[in-house]
Amino acid sequence: MSLRPLINNQSLIIDDHKWGAKEEKNWDKSSTDVHIDKKTKYLIDGKKQDVRIRIPINSDRNISVEIKRDRNSEVPSRLRKEIIEAFENKKKRDAFIKELIPILENFSSNLDSLEKAESVLKRISKHFDLDWTSQKIENYIRGSLLELTQVYEDENRKQYYITLDRNKIKISDVDRWTRQRKNIRR
């Protein structure tokens, strides 16, 4: 089972809003909230609305949802089912989290070189069963790598991308806006 259903017409952002800020990186510390942010548009009350779901990956905190800045909303049942199904295979879930730990612990060094950044993207992409394409977007400033985006395809040639920057890892499908902004070819 792949984690790809989590990114079909949606985005995932992996961060804790603190990692990389020279703070103690204690994965097991209860105050550290390492999580996946899942962003999607979802039909609620007959209207497509922005939904942001926070999935804790280092604690037993509950999954939380925010709909149009309403933090008291319930996770829509279809989205809850999708998340549970993607993470129900303990072996797959643990492998993904095990892969994330060293990436997050040394987050500030992930962009030290192009080779290291590419290695991070390869390690993440394998959990989504995505194939590399030749499209890679590198952003530098004064010789330092600031951001790396790699474009991927699934077996149906649908495009996805993973971006690594100094603050987060973003995994998403390629939509029209992203295609234009990042100049991604079909």
Tens-place pLDDT, residues 114-154: 999 999 999 999 999 999 999 999 999 999 999 999 999 99
Distance CA 106, CA 109 (A): 6
Domain count, the chain: 1
pLDDT, tens digit (0-9, with 9 covering 90-100), for 3-44: 898 898 889 998 755 544 555 555 555 566 677 888 887 777
Residue 98 CA to chain centroid, in angstroms? 15
Residue 173 near residue 156, CB atoms below 8 Å: no
Domain that holds residue 13: 4-182
Please name every residue paired with 139 in a beta bridge, in sequence order, or none if there are none.
147
Q: What pTM was computed for the model?
A: 0.83
pLDDT in tens, 53-81: 887 777 777 777 777 656 556 767 777 78
Q: Are strands 131-141 and 35-44 parallel, antiparallel or unpaired?
A: unpaired
User: What is the structure's pLDDT at 88?
Assistant: 77
Alpha-carbon span 25 to 94, nearest angstrom: 19
Residue pointed to by tokens 């497509």: 48
